[in-house]
Amino acid sequence: MKKSMLAMSVAAAIGGLGFAGAALAITTPGGATADSLELNTNGIGHQLVVPYFSTQSGNATLLNIVNTDTVNGKLVKVRFRGAGNSDDLYDFQVLLSPGDVWTAAVTQADDGASVLATADKSCTIGLGNGKFSTLRTDPTKTNAETREGYVEFLNMADIPSGSALYTAIKHVNGVAPCTASVLATALGTDVADVTAAGLRGLTPPSTGLTGDWILLNQTTTAAWSGAAAALEARLTGAPALGNVVFWPQKFGDVAPADAYTADPLLVGTAPIVAPQQYDLPDLSTPYVVGDTPALRADGTTAQLAVTSVSNQFETSEGILAVTDWLFSQPTRRYHVAVNYNGTGTAAAVYRAGSNYYNVANTGLYARQICLDTTFGPGRNSLFDREETTPGVSDSPFVPSPNLPEQAEILLLCGEANVVSINADGVAAPSALGATVARGDISTDYVNGWARWDLNNGSFGVPVLGASFMRAANGAVNYGFAFPHKTTRAVAP
């Protein structure tokens, strides 16, 4: 496999700038004129979510962010989270100049961990050697935990013209100067409020980010691609400004973090995981007028929540077809997380009052949080390609993993869960080669379509994903992805 060649075709690892030392937490995220953060189906926004990355089984993931704002630069937080329990694997900052594009490739290193490489000329903070970390993952597991997950891109602030910071990040003859002294002054310590941020060259973030991803298997040469989901801060339906949510990319206490995040492991006077400056912002950080972490966690979750998922599958042996369905749940972390030092069911740490994830629809199985109320599709929700559907309402699917007393229920375990269809077990080959959070279902139907009802009443569950299929024509493999078709939930 020519992993290094592929990575170098997209990126060559470069060093970032890191700043040591303590810093005070931001006192007041502010500056927003927007009163809502909404899913923009046109793909442009303040925050982006790539539903899946993988370096498993010969996969490489290629990423890009585009700043479609041709006036302002953007200070963007990039965070890779694990497929198991949404643990932080790797995060850093990218500074985009107006009209800029940032690209990178994620592949598997010799030690089995994921590693990011980029040859991009935009400025970065904290990129380091690109190696993903297991410091926050399940300590009973291995570097495999770093090989699957999803990605967040968060616009922390705009960088308008007229400041030293803008001059440092603005490309000159195709290369940003990235003046170290300027970056250290502007971004090396925290700011108290939006006024102090303005003196550093940081202003309330506007819309303009868009992004895309490619998943390329270097063994089969099959590839899949898609666009990042975009969340846009709005006022009465029009793009507006969000809060400045800048924290330095560095160590430094954030205590208590309750005003800035809803992550159950980071909050409280004695947090399970001591929050650091680099943990912020996240998808629950207050971003619009009137926000609190709980309101932002629920509001963003509501924008992504669906009550059912429908899609096609193809498993014909004649063309060696395989199909995986992805159920990526990028805001679940702000409702329930896993304390790896905990024992039994007490290791599942829930945020009180959540309508989306609670003990009624989730459980802890094999040290992962699992949705445990999702029934396999039966009559009128499962069809082959000739309208055939089960004669009774019971599902012909045989799901695994499972529990003996729940024969019809498919456990959707992990944050970025992959369900293989007709693969004959989770150890069998699949389109994506997933292993971290994978399930399996078998049915008598070789090809067709199905609908899963996610069984959380009118609230639904936040799910992004697609049906990933691979087929062969002789020695040539083809990959194609069909985005999920969903029924939307009703916001609380």
Residues 319, 284 share a domain: no
pLDDT, greater one: 336 or 411: 336
- Give CA–CA dist 211/241, Å, rounded: 20
pLDDT at 340: 96
pLDDT at 390: 82
Residues 323, 267 share a domain: no
422 assigned to some structural domain? yes
Boundary (domain end) residue, out of 244, 269, 291: 291
297 assigned to some structural domain? no
Residues 314, 428 share a domain: yes
Cis bond leading into 462, ω under 30°?
Answer: no
pLDDT at 8: 35
Cβ(462)–Cβ(492) below 8 Å = no
Cβ(363)–Cβ(401) below 8 Å = no
Boundary (domain end) residue, out of 230, 262, 291: 291
Residues 215, 122 share a domain: yes
Task: For residues 73-100, give the mean pLDDT.
Answer: 98
Is the pLDDT reported for residue 379 higher than 90?
no
Residues 145, 240 share a domain: yes
Is the pLDDT reported for residue 36 higher than 80?
yes
349 assigned to some structural domain? yes
Residues 318, 214 share a domain: no
42 assigned to some structural domain? yes
Residues 454, 414 share a domain: yes
pLDDT at 411: 87
Question: Greatest CA separation found in the chain?
Answer: 71
Cβ(262)–Cβ(284) below 8 Å = yes
Q: Containing domain of residue 370, as a range?
A: 304-488
| Beta strands, E only, 366-446 | 368-371, 382-383, 398-400, 412-413, 416-421, 438-442
Q: Which residues pair with 488 in a beta bridge?
A: 306
Q: Three-state SS for 143? A: helix
pLDDT digits (tens, 9 = 90+) for 303-325: 999 999 999 999 999 999 999 99
Is the pLDDT reported for residue 22 higher than 50?
no
298 assigned to some structural domain? no
Task: For residues 340-351, give the mean pLDDT.
Answer: 94
Residues 212, 69 share a domain: yes
Any idea what the Cα angle at residue 315 is, between residues 312 and 318, rounded to 5°? 135
Q: Which pLDDT band, with edges at 50, 70 and 90, does 407 fall under? A: low
299 assigned to some structural domain? no
- Give CA–CA dist 15/26, Å, rounded: 27
Residues 468, 400 share a domain: yes
Type of residue numbered 49: V
Boundary (domain end) residue, out of 264, 291, 318: 291
- Strand 305-314 relative to strand 322-328: parallel, antiparallel, unpaired? unpaired
Q: What is the pTM of this model?
A: 0.93
Strand order in the sheet with 438-442: 398-400, 438-442, 416-421, 322-328, 466-473, 476-483
H or E stretch covering 150: strand 148-159
pLDDT digits (tens, 9 = 90+) for 91-102: 999 999 999 999
pLDDT digits (tens, 9 = 90+) for 264-297: 999 999 999 999 999 999 999 999 999 999 999 9
Task: Provide the number of structural domains found in the chain.
Answer: 2
On average, the pLDDT of the chain sits at: 90
CA torsion sign for 165, 210, 133, 88 is positive
252 assigned to some structural domain? yes
Residues 352, 217 share a domain: no
Q: Give the residue among 248, 153, 169, 164 at the shortest CA–CA distance from 205.
A: 153
Residues 165, 220 share a domain: yes
pLDDT at 18: 36
pLDDT at 2: 39
Residues 320, 281 share a domain: no
